[in-house]
Chains A and B, each alone.
With several copies, the nearest count.
Chain A
Amino acid sequence: MKRAKIVQKRFLGTSFVELWLEEKDIAHLASPGQFVMVTTGSSYDPFLKRPLGILACQENQFGLLFEIVGRGTQILSQLEIGDQVDLLGPLGNGFSLNPKEALLIGGGRGFVPLYFLAQIFINKKVPFQFFFGIRSQEEKVLIEYLSQLPIPLVISCQEEFSGFYCGTVLDAFENWRQQHSLSKSAPKIYACGPQGMFQTLAKMDDIIPNQIEVSLESRMGCGYGVCLSCAVKKKGLPGYFHVCKDGPVFRLGEIEL
């Protein structure tokens, strides 16, 4: 187990928190799509660690960005600079990093691993377009956050508010596709977001699910492959993948949603 110190903390609005932690190994080894399991404290209630995607790495530090959705993330949001947390990581298999061209599609907090990926693509000079959708104005802070990167962004919001495409991120993506003729070697698609987004994406026209990489969430017991909690059904095959070991990045075509 690793111990990391919190070196930066920032609330984005009221329900998102960005934390930066100092832990050399994770900062040096992590790749976009990988995650860490973070304890919520020294109490056994709540009991389990929580999986959180890695947002970025810088020297000996790495970032996390999470949404407060329940008890565990609530407790994590109360951590302060200087506090120490126990964690495991980096865990899981990340995204492939060498496409010719890429399209990144993120919904809500699902933008986290894609943000990391975008930074790598900037460094590697891989051309890409980033589609980002939020459900409501409350998540506008995430747009501001994402806008820090010098990247081509297409923003959508399911609530009407000035300036952005109104609809889901896939509506925006579809709309954009119709306006741009995709290059011959169609760009590789990377996606992360809620279950429903993946389901819709899989059914869209001119989409080859096996060429799309998605990063999944699932309930995890251990995060490192021993408990078999994180099952996701294989498509067309009997049995399950395990998100923490076989994923969290999968080809959209190999999983049943």
Chain B
Amino acid sequence: MNLQVHLGNLTLSNPIILASGTAGYGREIAPYLDLDRVGAFTLKGLSSTPWVGNPPPRIHETYAGIMNSIGLENKGFDRFFREDLPFLENFQTKIIANIWGKTIEEYSDIAKKMNGLERIDAIEVNVSCPNIEQGGESFSSNGQVLCQLIQNLRQKIQKPLIVKLGPNTDDLNNVLQFMEKEGVDILSVTNTFPALAIDVENQSYIFSRKTAGLSGPAIKPLALKLVYDVIQRTRLPIIGMGGIMKTEDALEYFLIGAQAVALGSVNLIDPSAAVQIIEGIKTYLVQKNIFDINDLIGKVR
């Protein structure tokens, strides 16, 4: 049976990836999951310098979902380099660095640093981050700025470049065209959905920043639709994600054409979910008499 997939020049031993922000920097989840079993492991989003993130509460449970407002807290490149990178040298699994910045310059900076690390196999750019030069709106809310950012990063990054889109990308068609032209290698779809929650007891917003990102099972049918929409408009390979809990959820993404999928929120409630899903996919392929997972990808047209 073949589970190997090629996303442009990035080859994964199987198409199950751990999504950024839901598996730490590796050490935290390693006691529960053999990292070499997954196709790739995405690091929690890193910026060049440490970032403290948002005040609590940072998480709120909704019907079959969670809203998070972690605010991109991270230890910064240097501490990652010292504290976590050595641990990651023990594994063969592909490692994707997820990066962000508050300015194009900050993005460039972390991109260059990550690009220089041998252990990092690909770089995923989170573009759903507040752009302080544009008054705090997300980079993805302005197609032109987004294209600028991507062009800039492509020059700095020789490793496979993954752009991670959110649900409200401005001017999506043009941005997709631009990315193909500039040589972006892979797209990740999708980041969390902007959402709101009110504390009715205290008559206030739950989160200090009012809105927060919705993820988990609740969003699956919406994320799947988004991935589908993007697939219709580009030939770039896609890592699909959003609400995957079980084998069947992952299969839905493959069937509409995602070359790989990432697991996010499910890791919070079951750190070994990835292995069960990989095993579930094997069982399904056997049942359906399919030898190569690539024959499944995009089968539903």
Contacts and interface: CB of A to CB of B under 8 A. Distances in A.
Q: Do chains A and B touch in the complex (CB under 8 A)?
A: yes
Nearest to A227: B268
> Number of contact residues on B: which range applies?
35 or more
B59 A221 contact: yes
Contacts of A239: 50, 52, 73
A245 B25 CA distance: 14
Interface string B53-96: 11111111111111010100100000000000000000000000
Interface stretch (B5-13, B16-24, B285-293): B16-24
Interface residues of A, number: 29
B144 interface: no
A86 interface: yes
Contacts of A230: 56, 58
A46 B23 CA distance: 21
A231 B63 contact: no
B56 A219 contact: yes
A236 to B, nearest CB: 14
B170 to A, nearest CB: 28
A228 B268 CA distance: 11
Contacts of B265: 47
B271 A224 contact: yes
A225 B24 contact: yes
Interface in A38-69: 39, 44-49
B70 A232 contact: no
B68 A226 contact: no
Given A227-B22, A227-B70, A47 B65 contact: yes
A157 B167 CA distance: 52
Contact of A46 (B24, B32, B61, B272): B61
A231 B267 contact: no
B24 to A, nearest CB: 4
Q: Which of A48, A219, A221, A226 has the most CB of B within 10 A?
A: A226
A233 B55 contact: yes
Interface in A212-257: 218-222, 224-233, 238-240, 245
B22 A1 contact: no
Given A45-B64, A238-B52, A226 B24 contact: yes
In the A-B complex, the 10 residue pairs with the smallest Cβ-Cβ separation, listed nearest first, are: A229-B59, A225-B28, A226-B24, A222-B268, A45-B64, A239-B52, A44-B217, A44-B64, A229-B58, A221-B59
